[in-house]
Amino acid sequence: MPNEVNNNQGIPIRFLAGSDLKQFCEVSAEKLNATKPQLSSGERYYLVCDIKGSGDVFQEVVSLSQQLANGSTSPDDERFPSLISFDGPIYQNQLIYEIDKIFPGQNYIPPITDSPLLVYSPMVFMTTTELAPALAKAPNLYTVLQQYDNYQQLDSSALPLPIHFVQTAPTRSNSGLQTLVAQFASVANKPPEDLTIADIEAHQEEVREIQQKVTRYGISTGSLAQSMVENGVFWASVGSVYESLVIAANSQGDNSQKYQAVYPQSTFSSDIRSILPNAPWVTPQEKEASEAIIEFMRQPEIQAIAVSLGLRPGVPGVPLGNKFSAEFGVNPNPTYESYRPPQPEVVEVMLESWQNYAKKPSLVAVVVDISGSMQGTKFSSVQNTLLSYINNLGSKEEIVIIPFNSEIGQPLRVSSSPEDKFRAINYISSLQAGGGTRLYDSALFARNWLRENLKDEAINAVLILTDGEDSGSQVNLSQLEQELQKSGFNSDERIAFFTIGYGNEGEFSPDILQEIAQINGGYYRKGDPETIAQVMENLQVEF
């Protein structure tokens, strides 16, 4: 169980929460568990933080509830959480809606007003201090993303930098969903709660124009904000993030670039609440413990810890402290209208519109190591993972599969059409492992293929999966790096690189794979037969 320590005893109280609560939940759990808390009966309990993207939290609870309804699991299934939290109110609204469809009239998920507030962090636009004045002049920040390409178009005294934007995927992340809702509300000139399905259909083209500025999607708001810091303004000059992440960016001691939060006229406060289900999977003992945990996390001394982490307190009377200041890029007393969630039916249509119409298209070259060291269970695991990747391709996504060993295979381009998927599945089924590992040559080959087939107004990227170090390439690492820099985010091609080291470290060099990825604004991840499916699923969200 996540974050469980061996010396904890008693009933585990699983808190399934969105990623922005991670540090606060884990520190709270450490302090609470150190007290060896007990129920009124004398029985011990302890808090376990299970942190995921808010969309994943939502899907997990809905899936378990469906299994409970059809009899394939029982209320004592330990996967059920005792406490739930999202990084904002929309997903709670959606959860109430979905669970009520599964269990009509049972009211298993309490309303927002009955869920105590733990902390909050408003959605802001994160940018550099140099670019913030130009954005701050705009009455509607999303109109800026829709209509302008350069900061000098906003302010003649601004730097002549292109406007590149990052947000998380609304299907997996609360910040992405709140961002998408704010975009529709902005272009429709309506508060979210007044949006209709007709509004979504009428304004999806304007939202599509906003989405064209996106550099990359992702499942984690924190990782996107950190990538802004690491990759600079040519990668992304503005991001839709939580205020707490601007504070985090300015808290890094070795960071010479300062960032600033620009507050929209209207935005989501991102209220993070503790949801205690009134459901059969929460026992009376778990309910008693959960209520005590909520009370503990709302104590002023614990709330002060949240403030030190850049989160605003959920109870009155807790001082903000020095991090909520211009020095850390934020306004201690910002003025904005706080958005409320749209109707759940509208959100469903909004997400469908994003996936099928507004989302920025992508073309990803998936470079797959089929060398001799991949033989056996590793290879079959990779084939299954590629099968899942292909089956999950959306209408806005394309991939090209490039296998390599001592030779580089013929690229196969795959769209989301049934015919393409069928052809691709036959292709990966026919692959066989054997030969050497021309890693550097295949990376350069994939980059060159994308250069020749660059998809306009799309995210173009290379994803490399390998279990070994390079052998037999005609280019060396230094030559590869020089070439990749020509097509990075300082160029018009903006081709990103992502790498996965598969199997046991020592067989491949994680440092080299990380270096290849970081040259062009991507990242490295480690996978193995047990984790590769999740690693690839998360990477697929980026595009």
Q: What is the mean pLDDT of the chain?
A: 94
Q: pLDDT tens across 478-518, in order?
A: 999 999 999 999 899 999 999 999 888 788 889 999 999 99
Predicted confidence at residue 370, as pLDDT, reads 95
Percent of the chain with pLDDT over 90: 84
| Per-residue confidence band for 195, with pLDDT thresholds at 50, 70 and 90 | very high
Q: pLDDT tens across 116-163, in order?
A: 999 999 999 999 999 999 999 888 888 888 889 999 998 888 888 999
| Per-residue confidence band for 197, with pLDDT thresholds at 50, 70 and 90 | very high
Q: Strands 495-502, 459-466: parallel, antiparallel or unpaired by DSSP?
A: parallel
Predicted confidence at residue 26, as pLDDT, reads 97
CA atoms within 13 A on the CB side of 184: 30
Predicted confidence at residue 4, as pLDDT, reads 52
Q: Whole-model pTM?
A: 0.93
Flag whether pLDDT at 225 surpasses 70: yes
CA atoms within 13 A on the CB side of 214: 28
The stretch 320-336 carries a mean pLDDT of: 95
What sign does the dihedral 187-189-194-199 (CA atoms) show?
A: negative
Predicted confidence at residue 2, as pLDDT, reads 59
Edge-to-edge strand order for the sheet containing 271-273?
271-273, 117-120, 312-313
Percent of the chain with pLDDT over 70: 99
- Asked whether the beta carbons of 210 and 142 are under 8 A apart, the reply is yes
Q: pLDDT tens across 241-296, in order?
A: 999 999 999 998 766 789 999 999 999 999 999 999 999 999 999 999 999 999 99
Q: Which two tokens mark 198?
A: 């007709």
Q: Any residues with CB less than 8 A from the CB of 520 and at least 6 apart, and which?
A: 484, 485, 487, 488, 489, 495, 496, 497
The stretch 206-215 carries a mean pLDDT of: 95
Q: pLDDT tens across 63-75, in order?
A: 999 999 999 999 9
Q: Residue 439: phi, psi to the nearest 5? A: -65, -50
Q: Which two tokens mark 388?
A: 């899942």
The stretch 327-347 carries a mean pLDDT of: 96
Q: pLDDT tens across 286-297, in order?
A: 999 999 999 999
